[in-house]
Chain A
């Protein structure tokens, strides 16, 4: 097996729940050693995809291969390569943490030093001192960690984590993320989530799924570039609007300048686009200070991951043309996202949990 083989390769996967197409011909791949964020709104098909990859459910058509092995042809080999943390950690509440991990170790037919391996895994997710506690008595955060420990038993090459930080407090979220980052140094991880900061904090690449279709697969930077706005800035200057405009027009490296509405008097707002390859920020600040005008604000107008996410998932919804699209007024949101770089008012970043 060469390194060129993708750790997970999904081709033309379709899954029907009755007449409802949960997955509609999706294909994507995850490179070896990558942490891939698997994003999508609720009900988009994230868990379904993960359940298919891990062999818990079967697809109607399409193929999944893990490290070059087909799931249908060699289910046992593939399952041995995967560690899976489902949305609800599959814990037996009437076992102690130690007993549970013992059981998982035997269930997965792991063949290395049992005591040492389990101790290592417990150390990694920091549950060593919980070894003799009953799982039912643990807090939600610890239960989640035991679930993660379960997935790590046997050092699987691929880890599939379905919303591993859901329901945890902020401190625990950061701890779990750090654990994931730590593990991700050696393994391939598919991390499903709808928390966008998590993707930004942890993942190397992103796959976005909406309404059973893949709408984007790229690195985070690539996505931002793809969505446009990388070379765009929002500029607000205190002083005369016309004077500022002339100054911008004559500046080198500028492709386009647009005047925008301003709420404050005596403050002029512009949307400035630079020629690619240029970085106008320095010349721009200098020019205005030479002209004795103060810059009130200069910021990149590139779309945040949230805006990209909303834009992409809504486009998919519109394409779908179903009547069952979410109740919120998506056309409004879409326009907002689309013109986010051009509007003076930015889409507030309080929509972290979409």
Chain B
């Protein structure tokens, strides 16, 4: 797992993908910081994170589309599958590499709360809650991306399909309101990643929400492992 993690993480910064991701992410965050916080003079970090812009979804697909699709396309998966590592280790190595690139961005973004603490009095619990929620939300986004990347050989298709799926999740709470069927409501609720996110922003660390995100991630990574394993049998 360590070898795969290292290779993938390095790969992000050997190609432009890592720089584009960190750069665009930080540019967007700065923009929201400037427009939402600096200009309104409010020390409320949730203003920055609440603008989970659609462009963030695009960035998430950019981060994950290559991960497994490329291996299959270039047939390098034969090296991984014939090595003494399990498929779970392969998938986790790749997932954590993508998370680590996201982690780099998160570390850089600490500059925003730092500015706020220097010039105002933001609520510490809100800042911490927002960050934890944001990381969990992204963890879920990336797990979806990794899963979709395992389904196809083309990173293009993986990227577009991931973006479409995340977009659907982004808008899914709108459907929830118009659906009458109880069961359908429940199913939609399962995928409603963003609705649970707002609680974190108010500084509430609800264990139920944390478990929800972690199990969401677990399910998608588990499905990824199954997809790769199943391909060996077909």
Q: CB within 8 Å of B: which residues of A?
A: 17, 51, 54-58, 60, 75-77, 79-80, 82, 84, 86, 88, 90-95, 103-104, 106-109, 150
Contact = CB atoms under 8 A, between A and B. Distances in A.
Interface string B67-109: 0000000111111111111100000000000000000000000
B225 interface: no
B68 to A, nearest CB: 14
Given A79-B83, A86-B79, A106-B3, 6 more contacts: A55-B81, A75-B84, A94-B15, A95-B14, A107-B83, A108-B84
A104 to B, nearest CB: 7
Nearest to A60: B233
A79 B84 CA distance: 5
A345 B210 CA distance: 81
A57 B233 contact: yes
A57 B232 contact: yes
Contacts of A80: 84
Interface string B190-202: 0000000000000
Nearest to A90: B79
A55 B86 CA distance: 11
Contact of A84 (B7, B77, B82, B85): B82
Contact of A104 (B14, B75, B78, B79): B79
A55 B77 CA distance: 12
Contacts of B6: 103, 106
Contacts of A91: 74, 76
A7 to B, nearest CB: 16
Closest 8 CB pairs of A and B: A106-B3, A90-B79, A54-B82, A90-B76, A80-B84, A79-B84, A107-B3, A84-B82
A51 B78 contact: yes
Nearest to A110: B84
Contacts of A17: 234
B78 A84 contact: yes
Contact of B75 (A75, A77, A90): A90
Contact of B78 (A75, A90, A103, A109): A90
B41 to A, nearest CB: 47
A11 to B, nearest CB: 19
22 contacts: A17-B234, A54-B78, A54-B82, A56-B81, A56-B232, A76-B86, A79-B83, A80-B84, A82-B82, A86-B78, A90-B74, A90-B75, A90-B76, A91-B76, A92-B76, A94-B14, A104-B79, A104-B83, A107-B4, A107-B83, A108-B84, A109-B85
B82 A79 contact: yes
Given A58-B233, A109-B84, A103 B75 contact: no
A82 B74 CA distance: 21
Contacts of A106: 2-3, 6
Interface string B215-234: 00000000000000000111
